[in-house]
Structure 1
Amino acid sequence: MKLLKKLACAAAIAMSMGTVHAQSVINDWQFSPNGTGFAGSQQINEYLDVNGNAFIQLTPTGPNSFSFTEHAVFNIVQADSRGQLFPVNYPGGNITATFEATGTGTFNGSFTFSSGTIRMYQNPANGQYASAAGFYGANLGNQISVFDVIPGGGGLVDASGSPTGNGQVTVFARAEAGALDAGYFFRENGQDLSLESILGFAFTNANPLLDPTALQVQEIACQYAGFTGPGCPTGTYANAPGQYFFIGGNGQFKLGEVPEPGSLALFGIAMLGAGIVSRKRAMKA
């Protein structure tokens, strides 16, 4: 009977999370990659395409648990996989992002984010992403948005702490009014989203990157993450499962409405409940 109640609880939590998310996502918003305003913007059916690399550092906190820090860089070249490339079709619209976060998890279980920041940049100069400029070229030009990570999200991991289940990772974040620069993000009617508080949803497929390049090691691990282990500043780097490793990922970044206080509370309860169910499942395993 207790098992049935737990399964029912988990199902209710999943439905609650799905309902809140479905109600929150904004469709048919507008984005101006070079910041020229609504007139020069592109309609975004639902999401921006993102791809990049992350360096993860784990710290064991118990027999089966860990805390982690993540530093990631991303390139954003189009929306809705339509092929209207920002640097090509929108000169000066090179869009990149950085992501840094902390969280906790259980080996052979799940992990969740505790805090973090997503910063998005528009760089008028072409070809600087994946270079030695800045942090892998991902933090150059004009910072156009800052999102603070909301506790929750995450995904599943194996015994070494690496993402599993096709590496599906979810991040929830929020930008307060003024955290988005004017001239880039708009509602379908032309209203500038910089005037509002807004949610951000990132959904990525992250899988281990077994052979990161020397530039990725130097730029993302050594410089951005402040790693001082093998390969920094010189020497040979190799992933150390259960301690530190690189992942490569691609996915989607969506915008959403900030829920009403009651819905936001439901969202928080659903996230908390999902974490409790995951932890109980991991402990039984």
Structure 2
Amino acid sequence: MLTAIEEIRQKMTSVKHKILVLSGKGGVGKSTFSAHLSHALASDDSKEVALLDVDICGPSIPKIMGLEGEQVHQSGSGWSPVYVEDNLAVMSIGFLLNSPDDAVIWRGPKKNGMIKQFLRDVDWGEVDYLIIDTPPGTSDEHLSIVQYLSSAGIDGAVIITTPQEVSLQDVRKEIRFCKKVKLPIIGVIENMSGFVCPKCKNTSQIFPPTTGGAQRMCEELNLPLLGRVPLDPRIGKSCDEGKSFLTEVPDSPAAMAYQSIVQKIRDYCSSHSASDDLS
């Protein structure tokens, strides 16, 4: 009889790269980044991309991906994910709720069981990139996903922060979590990093980096800073409308920052060997 971890390891052999998106604090744009990373990777038609939302109590991925109201169907090979494009699949507990307003009021073991089902029972097929959007913090969902994928190998984590110290404080806890569970860190992204006026092109610091921001933190902790994404109201508008900001406003400073970051993540995955996997 196979254990759950062994079953998941077998299931995940068809997934080449697994990337966790983490943040210590809520509201820093983690789900927004997860969605746009998935869109950007799927813009290469030769790549199969999947986005898994394990934020059990606050699933925002269906809204951001324009999939509200969609439902998951059961087939002989498991749950069928919902597709945004032919090569971009999405799974979220949001597809299992009667309404987007339904509250999921679960204790840890039930959350743990749902994450196990997402990894073991979804018919992902052959996938080049699996992006896993996690809730804020370092709790049940994070421990479960790392434990279940421990033998399957995780390429690493992308950590999202904003410039102010109150966010960086929580991100340091997330970094400590990664080190304790031996989860490689691909790098840090500073989101909401200034506001570029679309008219005069001047940059204003909406969230001043009073302690040096993500760059200073990365220097202190010897971590790569993947990039800074400026505030742009059109990002929020695109998410509310379920559209990709990268195709809506491709020449904006924020879209160009996203593309630069995504290329660094592609390069990391290309150079990542099986011997570097989480053990």
Is the structural similarity TM-score above 0.5?
no
Higher strand residue share: 1
Larger Rg over CA atoms: 1
TM-score (norm 2): 0.23
TM-score (norm 1): 0.23
Higher helix residue share: 2
Q: Which has the higher contact order (CA 8 A, sep 6+)?
A: 2
